Amino acid sequence: MSDFVLTCESAADRTREFFASRNIPVVCFHYEIDDVVYTDDLYQSIAPDEFFAQIAAGAMPKTSQVSVGEYEEFWEPFVAEGKDVLHLTLSSGISGTYGSACVAAQMLADRYPQGGKVRVIDSLGASSGFGLLLEYAADVRDSGASLDETAAWIEEHKLNLHHWFFSTDLSSYLRGGRISAASAIIGTALKICPLMTVDCDGKLAPREKIRTKKRAISEMAKTVMAHLQDGTNYSGKCIMSHSACREDAEAVAALIEEQVPQLKGKIEINNLVHELNKTQNMTILSITHDIEEAALSDHVVLLDNGHIIDEGTPEKVLTQKEELERIGLDVPFAYKISKKLHDSGYPIKPIINKEKLVKELCQLNLKK
């Protein structure tokens, strides 16, 4: 097992559950709304509905990067114990956090000459792109790669990632001074949706102005397809984030999944529903045909033509292969794989959760 610590910032836009399951400590950015400073603690301090409602009402959040002192405090326990750290930062083309991280790493090296070392890598990515690169880095680490090997993999592959996004609301661009009032008025009247990317220097770059959200969704999917490695035969991962517009994200995801049947799992739409359930003590009712989403639930009710045919824990309901197939569903992908391994004599129990399966497989590899 790799003996270094992989760390990142909250700007990777993944859930607390993800960071915990992949053993990735996180240092948080900060933001300010109406003179109130919040920690970017993955919506523990403020719920997403409240956050986006404030923006819709005219608030203009101001972000502040992680300071040198915060990096020092974050890494010092690892360094003092003699553990090496590999840290992935938000793009230097978007934030100055990479520079602050490098300064903090050098200060700790001076303070602990015999301690662990901190190596900082500029992801040149943002949001889910940053988060996806981090996930791949964790996969490499968990395969047994050393810090140097993992760092080399990141540097070699980070520009293979593509970031694409569009916006249907120009008001934030106006308030932030990125466009003029005239441009905002005309753009809104024409229903302009800017299509943007993160370029090879890690900077935000506008690519196209598209009229109407419907066309933007279509063009977004076409753009992704145009850049996929191996095209429709792409078998890697795809992640999406959204800002209070999940239906739009689902529409884009559906268009891509329809054309790329070999994707590694369904497209992950960064979903704060499960985070709200845990951190805000909310009960969430979800109606879905997505068996992978249902597998993340605490309780499942299976319906057929409006009638309840089974209910219970996901482990009980979603492993009934014949019953699920009868109503046009399937068992979770993780269950298929783990069941085959179990039936083939491997010491692994059938599992329906993909992240738990990854952990089991990593442990199985370490026991060899």
Q: Does 155 lie in the same domain as 168?
A: no
| Domain end (from 159, 191, 220) | 159
pLDDT band at 336 (very low <50, low <70, confident <90, very high): confident
| CATH number of the domain that residue 149 is part of | 3.40.50.10440
Q: Does 330 lie in the same domain as 314?
A: yes
3-class SS shares of the chain: helix, strand, coil, % to 5? 45, 15, 40
Is there a contact between 96 and 64 (Cβ–Cβ < 8 Å)? no
d(C-alpha 359, C-alpha 100), whole Å: 33
Percentage with pLDDT > 90 across the chain: 25
DSSP reduced 3-state for 181: helix
Is there a contact between 75 and 101 (Cβ–Cβ < 8 Å)? no
Is there a contact between 63 and 97 (Cβ–Cβ < 8 Å)? no
When computed from its CA atoms, the radius of gyration of the chain, rounded to whole angstroms, is 22
Is there a contact between 47 and 66 (Cβ–Cβ < 8 Å)? no
Q: Does 172 lie in the same domain as 148?
A: no
Q: Does 73 lie in the same domain as 23?
A: yes
- Tell me, yes or no, if the pTM score tops 0.85: no
Tokens 């602050």 correspond to 100
168-205 residue pLDDT tens: 776 666 555 555 666 666 667 777 888 888 888 888 88
| CATH number of the domain that residue 243 is part of | 3.30.1180.10
Sign of CA dihedral 168, 175, 206, 29: negative
Residue 277 maps to a domain: no
Nearest CA-CA partner of 249 in 273, 228, 278: 273
Q: Does 322 lie in the same domain as 262?
A: no
Characterise 230 by phi-psi region: left (phi > 0), alpha (psi -120 to 50), beta (else).
left
Q: Does 206 lie in the same domain as 96?
A: no
Q: Does 316 lie in the same domain as 331?
A: yes
| Domain end (from 159, 183, 204) | 159
232-271 residue pLDDT tens: 888 888 888 777 677 888 888 888 888 888 887 777 776 5
Total residues belonging to the chain: 368
Please give the residue range of the domain that contains residue 78: 5-29+65-159
Q: Where are the beta strands (DSSP E) in 36-191?
A: 36-39, 62-64, 85-89, 118-122, 164-166
Report how many domains make up the chain. Answer: 3
Q: Does 205 lie in the same domain as 251?
A: yes
Q: Does 337 lie in the same domain as 263?
A: no
46-79 residue pLDDT tens: 777 777 777 767 777 777 889 999 999 999 999 9
Q: Does 171 lie in the same domain as 262?
A: yes
Q: Does 260 lie in the same domain as 173?
A: yes
| Domain end (from 120, 140, 159) | 159
d(C-alpha 218, C-alpha 212), whole Å: 10
Q: Does 265 lie in the same domain as 170?
A: yes
Residue 235 maps to a domain: yes
Q: Where are the beta strands (DSSP E) in 40-141?
A: 62-64, 85-89, 118-122
